[in-house]
Amino acid sequence: MHVNTIEGMTEAHPSWLISECIAGNEAAIEMLVRQYETGVFRLALSIVGDQAEASEITQETFIAALRSLSSYQEKQSFKAWLYTITLNHSRSHLRTQKIIERLRATLTAIFRVETQKQVWPEDALIQNEKEAEIWNCLNQLDERHRIVVVLRYFHELSIAEISEILSVNEGTIHSRLHSAREKLRTALKHLYGE
């Protein structure tokens, strides 16, 4: 089969592509990786905050996924299944490497957008203290609240996608996001003079 034919099949029949990967078809494996690697990398990057580490997690994710393809069940979308593996590898990486503080700058930017507040240049001297305090507040959230914030605002996933990845209903995702935002706002109110 030509690569063009394989490309056409990936969109129409993802199960065919998966079965070809299981059979060891190298072109199909390359196609599968190429099709999903950007999304996997971005998700890992949004969680670990470092490109080299996100690249490593991306490789680990595809190795694990290719080894487990035969256990994939089509009741879950392939993308959600793959993102679940990515999320698990990223969480494991965070626990073992203790690199979660690298999200601080991204969190600060997201929190600024969320609160619609602007940090002026004259605030630069105290900005590091603010960022540290913001990060500390996020870090105090339990993992289920912290992860939905990361998936929603860092990776810009929809509520439906987050629901599928975490195997939690959409109402619960909305509730966790609302609760996390309120906790962050309450904890950080004094930083922005509210």
Which range is least confidently modeled, 58-72, 133-147, 176-190? Answer: 133-147
Same domain, 85 and 42: yes
Give the CATH number for residue 179.
1.10.10.10
Sign of CA dihedral 119, 121, 126, 132: positive
At 130, is the pLDDT very low, low, confident or very high (cuts 50, 70, 90)? low
Q: Among residues 25, 30, 32, 21, which one has the least CA distance to residue 67?
A: 21
Domain count within the chain: 2
- Arithmetic mean of pLDDT over the chain: 76
Same domain, 84 and 128: no
Average pLDDT for residues 18-22, to the nearest whole number? 89
Average pLDDT for residues 40-45, to the nearest whole number? 90
DSSP 13: -
Same domain, 127 and 179: yes
Over residues 112-124, the pLDDT tens digits come to: 554 444 544 444 4
- Determine the structural domain holding residue 147 and report its residue range: 101-192
- pLDDT reading at 38 higher than 70: yes
The last residue of one of the domains, among 73, 97, 121, is: 97
Average pLDDT for residues 71-85, to the nearest whole number? 85
